[in-house]
Amino acid sequence: MERSDIPMSRVKSGKQSNNEMRRNLFITLAGIWVSIGLHAQQPLTHTQHGQLRTVVNPAASLMHMGGEVSVIGRRQWVGIDGAPTVFWGSGHMGFDGIGATAGLNIRHESLAVEKLTEASAFFAKSVRISEHEYLGLSLNAGFSYLDGRFSQLDPMDPAFREDVRETDALVGFGVMLYRPERYYVGLSLPRLMFGNLGLTGDSRYEFTNIYHLTAGALFPLGIDFQFRPSLLVTYSESLRPQAEASAMFFVKEVFGVGVNLRTYGEVAGMAQFNFSGFGLGYSYQFNPGSKTLDRRISNTTHEIGLSYRIGRAVGLL
């Protein structure tokens, strides 16, 4: 792929040439999408799972009974239009009298001409099983909507002639064993599609079920320092299993720096800043074993997370 120092929008080579360039770009993106989709694409997960856990497992909301609102944005393959972009949003409120929470999780994912939107409401309840340990259970229900504008790729190709717009219902669950301010271990299935259960009609698109295993802990290092390791393992039948581990060091529970490592070679530097109930996180991820496509398109990924917690923060920073 050759670099052009002239922005595509400024190239004055005629309408037909621009259309051909756009079509070639879409075909290139479609090729990337097909190759990573059919040859075991990695799950699109976020590196800040040790800080923003509810979007992965709604039962984690029980660790912040006061309530929390969070949003995460992740952009891969920086420098190319149509590259994978994912947004997660989560919000919940607590009912301390009954040890329960209720909230909403939203996810929007785009890749080339595909856009996938999911929304689900959840309810979680905790049960005290010892002096310090709790067991949390969550149930969620919602829908997934796929908008695939495949006709934009090449209208002359029968394989890309028709667009796909499909909706499917989903249910999910989460379970988490935790000790506030010390550790947690959780398992979740946030997306179990009705279509995969045979409860809806035939679909041209296969919505996949995704499983998450999460774990984390917080270790004090003297009075002013803390160490927080975390783990996320993701599995789906159509994707390669993925494991990632993060390690964060905090100063007075306010500022933290760390690193994230994934099983397929990605490395991320991470930073976290907590102040007055707000949390701001950033990560810069890359794969040192892969080469850039050209001088403009790299394998880097940027991720930003923002959260606000109501009341006293109890759950692992």
Q: What is the pLDDT of residues 251-265, one digit of tens each?
A: 988 999 999 999 988
Q: How far apart (Å, rounded) are the C-alpha atoms in residues 196 and 193?
A: 5
Residues with Cβ within 8 Å of residue 15, at least 6 apart in sequence: none
12 pLDDT above the threshold of 60: no
pTM: 0.80
285 pLDDT above the threshold of 90: yes
CA angle 289, 233, 46 (to 5 degrees): 65
The pLDDT score that the predictor gives to residue 140 is 96
Q: What are phi and psi of 224, to 5 degrees?
A: -105, 0
Q: How far apart (Å, rounded) are the C-alpha atoms in residues 233 and 215?
A: 9
Q: How far apart (Å, rounded) are the C-alpha atoms in residues 186 and 141?
A: 19
Please give the single-letter amino acid code of residue 154. D
pLDDT digits (tens, 9 = 90+) for 20-78: 544 444 445 544 444 444 334 567 889 999 999 999 999 999 999 999 999 999 988 76
Q: Which domains does the chain have, with CATH numbers?
A: 50-309 (2.40.160.60)
The pLDDT score that the predictor gives to residue 53 is 94
Reported confidence tier of residue 157, pLDDT bands at 50, 70, 90: low
Reported confidence tier of residue 314, pLDDT bands at 50, 70, 90: low
Maximum CA pair distance of the chain?
74
89 pLDDT above the threshold of 50: yes
Reported confidence tier of residue 311, pLDDT bands at 50, 70, 90: confident
170 pLDDT above the threshold of 60: yes
Contact by Cβ (8 Å): 273, 48? no
Reported confidence tier of residue 297, pLDDT bands at 50, 70, 90: low
15 pLDDT above the threshold of 60: no
Q: Which residues pair with 123 in a beta bridge?
A: 102, 139
Q: How far apart (Å, rounded) are the C-alpha atoms in residues 147 and 10?
A: 30
Read off the pLDDT of each residue in 117-127 and give the average, rounded to a whole number. Answer: 96
The pLDDT score that the predictor gives to residue 247 is 97
Please give the single-letter amino acid code of residue 7. P
Rounded to the nearest integer, the mean pLDDT of the chain is 80
pLDDT digits (tens, 9 = 90+) for 177-223: 999 889 999 999 988 876 655 555 555 556 678 899 999 999 999 88
The pLDDT score that the predictor gives to residue 26 is 47
